[in-house]
């Protein structure tokens, strides 16, 4: 598209908008009504964020495990650590509370102290019988003492699962129906039934009941995300509109900006519903993001309108020029921002792909709303009053521009030294960045449910399941003594790792069987010898009760066994070391020709997902840089200008990465987003500056210094305004109770502040220093698109 065609295109657009304003407003309202009907399709996520592609090997292995043993993240645990629990009234009440959950369809099974059974040898029938520890209810302290003696000293099978014998902590395990674990029925049960019953119990018996488990954590976490959406939208509207008002000192202009971004938020929710996407911790950020990104659009358009009105007083001509002169630049800047977000679409992660799609479409939507609504509304409003234009002549803005010009003119060497120093220090910091794959690290840490997570970590060594599945490659291979011995050795290694809980598997059950065969003597809680194995197994085969217990640990064919352990919240580096240690042990114990052993579980899948995202970060960011470089090449048709334009935008990213290293902020799914988002937004200032610089060059007969300072004066105030709005707008996310969202807000805010200074100081300095090699008619060829069309007359050029 040539300069002429670009200009004439926007003139046609301006005529269409201003001549068909009623029709356009009706179409906007109809589109908004249609999108609002899609809100009903929005749904909140009921699963963990799976950061890996569906066809990734880790997901394939995990799904293979689920096919054999079913959903593994269906356990909710209730715990009490209080000596007063061991009284007749309170312990019976605890057992009744646990028993009450069995009557709900959402619950598959409940295991509590009341449900514990003793394997008892039946010599007459040569089988094992199950006898309850508590037959009906407890009636005396003597019975409770006997119960404690048996549980804590005689039967190690249940230790560290339903109780901690060292601290006397008791817990109840509630296994949800696997069909409802990833549906809204889970939330209804946890919020309306579980929490209500637990709170009533706590109030009546003065006991502090701790609640946790993956379904519970996911439900409360999702509820926190929902609660924060309204907070972010409200805070973003309040902060950005307040700053907007401070700049323009016009209630009218502020209200127009609020109308635009409010429509943008409604369209964003409509896009999510229309596409059938879930509201996750990432997509929940998009509505406030649209407010923060939309306000700068309003600043550029309204500021230009007021400048034009001040110059010549003709309102219609001013609105026409707003569209023809700023429309193209606003389109380009919104397009580069959308490109920054759209790179997530190529990550193959469903979570990030949805985030990229919705964010990109929403940014294009807010551009359309801005360019349509603002000029149309102003056609219905009276001529701006003198006080509405006062901000154009503020002393402090002139002082800020003069300071920038003076720095570029007199302190260029200082600017370069500062930039090189920051780059060097940042590179050192980058090497200190760590990667985090924790499931709970970003969760609100001042909440009760987070404290409960830490409680169960301390008492039972974690609540996040890590599964090891042993494939013996033959039917009934699990119950062979050689397999059980190998599994036992692996479990001993797991026991030595302090970050993992005592494993549960068929091995424990076989040991329990031997103990039962020797009349419950705890010293026989061990695997049987070859001689003992045959007659102990004969007892087990005659016992239906034993078969019921086996179902959780062995599949119906006897080919597959699972070893379940629970993991503390640990960093990715520790998790990788543990995984390597266990894999080494697995390779030693289980020959590949006879066994196929895999490690999986939600915690491991999440950790692998984080590593996958970090590896893709470089690809995603490189792609964003490449696409935006192509964009610059299309606009400016100069390789040197592309390099010059990228330097002031890459430096802030490196500074932010260095800060992350020094401040101990790890790379994780939330902070990975910072770089692509910040780069896509910060490059907008570069486009505005270079576009004006080119125009000044052509107007000033290629006089470089005059053109650089002219571009600095013309764009400096608008860039400052928009950067301040973006800084405080993204700072809104620091109000979050989620650590990742706080880090995202703070890091993007800091990056954009560095980017503003870099574009206003470093970019013009580079242009001046390299003037001979870049600023000539041969190097700066005629642009493919003239971003800021030239004025038709001298009156319009009076700025």
* pLDDT, tens digit, 9 for 90 and up, residues 481-491: 899 999 999 99
Q: What are 766-798's pLDDT values in tens digits?
A: 888 876 655 555 445 555 445 455 554 433 333
Determine the pLDDT at residue 246. 81
Q: What are 496-512's pLDDT values in tens digits?
A: 888 888 888 888 888 88
With a pLDDT cut of 70, the percent of the chain lying above it is 88
**C-alpha separations of 146 from 86, 99, 111, 380 in Å:** 11, 22, 20, 86
Does residue 743 carry a pLDDT above 70? yes
Does residue 586 carry a pLDDT above 50? yes
Q: Can you tell me the mean pLDDT for 706-730? A: 81
Q: How many CA atoms lie within 13 A of 768 on its CB side?
A: 24
Q: Can you tell me the mean pLDDT for 11-31? A: 90
Q: Can you tell me the mean pLDDT for 514-520? A: 80
Determine the pLDDT at residue 7. 57
Sorted by sequence, the CB contacts under 8 Å of residue 211 that are 6+ apart come out as 76, 77, 78, 79, 194, 195, 198, 449, 452
Determine the pLDDT at residue 493. 92
Q: What is the chain's mean pLDDT, rounded?
A: 80
Determine the pLDDT at residue 387. 61
Report residue 408 CA to chain centroid gap: 40
More confident of the two residues 471 and 119: 471
Is the CB of residue 526 less than 8 Å from the CB of residue 156?
A: no
Determine the pLDDT at residue 1. 43
Q: What are 289-347's pLDDT values in tens digits?
A: 888 888 888 888 887 887 777 777 788 888 888 888 777 778 878 887 888 788 778 77
User: Rounded distance, CA 123 to CA 138, Å?
Assistant: 29
More confident of the two residues 72 and 549: 72
Of the candidates 677, 675, 667, 678, the one whose C-alpha atom is nearest the C-alpha of residue 740 is 667
**C-alpha separations of 49 from 53, 282, 348, 349 in Å:** 11, 10, 13, 10
**C-alpha separations of 130 from 41, 254, 543, 549, 748 in Å:** 50, 74, 9, 11, 61
Q: How confident is the model at residue 72 (pLDDT cuts 50, 70, 90)?
A: low
User: Rounded distance, CA 716 to CA 721, Å?
Assistant: 9
Determine the pLDDT at residue 26. 93
Sorted by sequence, the CB contacts under 8 Å of residue 611 that are 6+ apart come out as 435, 437, 572
Does residue 541 carry a pLDDT above 70? no
Q: E strands along 152-252, which residues? A: 163-164, 169-176, 210-212
Does residue 494 carry a pLDDT above 80? yes
Does residue 187 carry a pLDDT above 90? no
Q: Can you tell me the mean pLDDT for 35-59? A: 76
Does residue 429 carry a pLDDT above 80? yes
pTM over 0.85: no
**C-alpha separations of 783 from 665, 768, 789 in Å:** 42, 20, 11
Determine the pLDDT at residue 229. 81
Q: What are 644-682's pLDDT values in tens digits?
A: 888 888 888 899 889 888 888 887 767 777 887 787 777
Torsion of CA 52, 54, 60, 63, to 10 degrees: 100
Determine the pLDDT at residue 395. 63
More confident of the two residues 616 and 274: 274
Q: What are 345-404's pLDDT values in tens digits?
A: 877 777 778 888 999 999 999 999 999 999 999 888 877 666 656 655 566 666 777 888
Determine the pLDDT at residue 32. 94
Does residue 98 carry a pLDDT above 50? yes
With a pLDDT cut of 90, the percent of the chain lying above it is 15
Determine the pLDDT at residue 23. 93
More confident of the two residues 439 and 711: 711
Of the candidates 635, 645, 684, the one whose C-alpha atom is nearest the C-alpha of residue 294 is 684
- Show the tokens assigned to 281: 């911790």
> Which superfamily is assigned to 3-49+219-431+606-797 in CATH?
Multidrug efflux transporter AcrB transmembrane domain (1.20.1640.10)
Determine the pLDDT at residue 544. 52
Determine the pLDDT at residue 270. 93
More confident of the two residues 550 and 718: 718
More confident of the two residues 714 and 170: 170
**Contacts by 160-167, CB closer than 8 A, 24 or more apart:** 160/460, 160/461, 160/501, 160/502, 161/460, 161/502, 161/504, 162/111, 162/112, 162/113, 162/116, 163/113, 164/459, 164/460, 167/81, 167/459
Is the CB of residue 447 less than 8 Å from the CB of residue 584?
A: no
Determine the pLDDT at residue 677. 78
More confident of the two residues 603 and 762: 762
Determine the pLDDT at residue 798. 35
Q: What are 523-533's pLDDT values in tens digits?
A: 888 888 877 77
Does residue 561 carry a pLDDT above 70? yes
Determine the pLDDT at residue 799. 34
DSSP strand pairing (75-80 vs 210-212): antiparallel
Q: How confident is the model at residue 70 (pLDDT cuts 50, 70, 90)?
A: confident
Question: Which range in 190-194, 487-491, 519-523 is most confidently predicted, on average pLDDT?
Answer: 487-491
User: Rounded distance, CA 158 to CA 152, Å?
Assistant: 9
Q: How confident is the model at residue 617 (pLDDT cuts 50, 70, 90)?
A: low
């Amino acid at each position: 598209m040539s300069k002429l065609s670009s200009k004439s295109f926007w003139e046609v657009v301006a005529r269409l908008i201003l001549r068909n304003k009623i029709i356009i407003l009706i179409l906007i309202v109809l589109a908004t009504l249609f999108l609002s009907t899609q809100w009903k399709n929005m749904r909140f996520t009921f699963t963990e964020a799976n950061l890996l592609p569906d066809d990734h090997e880790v997901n394939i292995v995990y799904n293979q495990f689920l096919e054999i043993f079913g959903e593994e993240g269906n356990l909710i645990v209730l715990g009490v650590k209080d000596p007063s629990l061991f009284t007749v009234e309170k312990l019976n009440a605890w057992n009744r509370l646990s028993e009450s959950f069995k009557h709900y369809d959402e619950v598959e099974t409940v295991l509590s102290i009341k449900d514990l059974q003793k394997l008892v040898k039946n010599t007459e029938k040569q089988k094992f019988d199950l006898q309850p520890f508590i037959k009906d209810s407890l009636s005396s302290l003597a019975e409770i003492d006997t119960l404690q003696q048996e549980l804590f000293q005689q039967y190690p099978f249940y230790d560290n699962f339903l109780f901690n014998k060292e601290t006397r902590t008791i817990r109840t395990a509630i296994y949800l129906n696997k069909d409802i674990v990833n549906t809204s029925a889970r939330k209804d049960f946890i919020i309306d039934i579980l929490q209500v019953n637990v709170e009533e119990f706590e109030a009546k018996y003065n006991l502090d009941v701790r609640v946790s488990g993956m379904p519970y954590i996911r439900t409360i976490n999702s509820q926190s995300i929902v609660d924060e959406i309204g907070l972010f939208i409200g805070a973003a509207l309040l902060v950005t509109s307040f700053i907007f008002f401070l700049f323009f000192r016009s209630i009218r202009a502020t209200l127009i900006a609020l109308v635009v971004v409010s429509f943008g938020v409604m369209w964003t929710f409509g896009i999510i519903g229309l596409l059938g996407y879930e509201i996750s911790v990432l997509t929940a950020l998009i509505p406030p993001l649209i407010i923060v990104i939309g306000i700068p659009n309003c600043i550029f358009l309204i500021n230009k309108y007021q400048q034009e009105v001040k110059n010549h007083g003709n309102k219609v001509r001013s609105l026409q020029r707003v569209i023809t002169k700023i429309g193209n630049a606003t389109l380009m800047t919104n397009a580069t921002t959308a490109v920054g977000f759209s790179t997530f679409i190529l990550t193959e992660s469903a979570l990030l792909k949805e985030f990229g799609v919705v964010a990109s479409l929403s940014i294009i939507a807010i551009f359309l709303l801005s360019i349509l609504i603002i000029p149309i509304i102003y056609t219905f409003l009276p001529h701006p009053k003198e006080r509405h234009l006062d901000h154009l002549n503020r002393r402090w803005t002139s002082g800020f521009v003069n300071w920038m010009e003076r720095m570029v003119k007199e302190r260029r060497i200082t600017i370069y030294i500062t930039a090189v120093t920051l780059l060097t220090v940042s590179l050192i910091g980058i090497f200190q960045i760590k990667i985090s794959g924790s499931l709970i690290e970003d969760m609100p840490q001042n909440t009760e449910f987070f404290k409960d997570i830490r409680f169960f970590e301390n008492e039972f060594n974690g609540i996040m399941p890590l599964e090891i599945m042993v494939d013996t490659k033959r039917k009934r291979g699990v119950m062979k003594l050689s397999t059980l011995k190998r599994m036992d050795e692996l479990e001993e290694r797991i026991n030595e790792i302090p970050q993992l809980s005592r494993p549960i598997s068929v091995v424990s059950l076989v040991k329990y069987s031997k103990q039962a065969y020797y009349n419950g003597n705890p010293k026989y809680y061990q695997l049987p010898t070859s001689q003992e194995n045959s007659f102990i197994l004969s007892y087990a085969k005659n016992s239906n009760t034993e078969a019921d217990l086996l179902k959780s640990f062995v599949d119906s064919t006897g080919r597959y066994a699972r070893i379940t352990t629970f993991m503390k919240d640990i960093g990715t580096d520790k998790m990788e070391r543990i995984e390597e240690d266990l894999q080494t042990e697995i390779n030693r114990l289980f020959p590949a020709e006879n066994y196929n052993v895999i490690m999986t579980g939600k915690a491991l899948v999440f950790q692998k997902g984080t590593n996958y995202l970090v590896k893709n970060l470089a690809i995603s960011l490189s792609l964003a840089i490449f696409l935006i470089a192509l964009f610059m090449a299309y606009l400016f048709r100069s390789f040197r200008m592309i390099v010059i334009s990228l330097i002031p935008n890459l430096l802030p990213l490196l500074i932010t990465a260095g800060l992350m290293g020094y401040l101990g902020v790890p790379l994780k799914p939330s902070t990975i987003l910072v770089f692509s988002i910040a780069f896509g937004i910060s490059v907008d200032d570069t486009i505005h500056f270079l576009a004006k610089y080119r125009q000044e060059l052509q107007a000033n007969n290629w006089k470089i210094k005059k053109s650089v300072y002219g571009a600095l004066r013309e764009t400096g105030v608008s860039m400052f305004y928009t950067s301040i709005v973006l800084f405080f707008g993204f700072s809104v996310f620091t109000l979050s109770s989620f650590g990742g969202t706080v880090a995202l807000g703070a890091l993007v805010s800091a990056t954009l502040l560095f980017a503003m200074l870099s574009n206003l100081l470093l970019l013009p300095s580079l242009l001046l220093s390299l003037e001979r090699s870049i600023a000539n008619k041969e190097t700066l060829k005629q642009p493919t698109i003239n971003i800021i069309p030239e004025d038709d007359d001298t009156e319009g050029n009076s700025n």
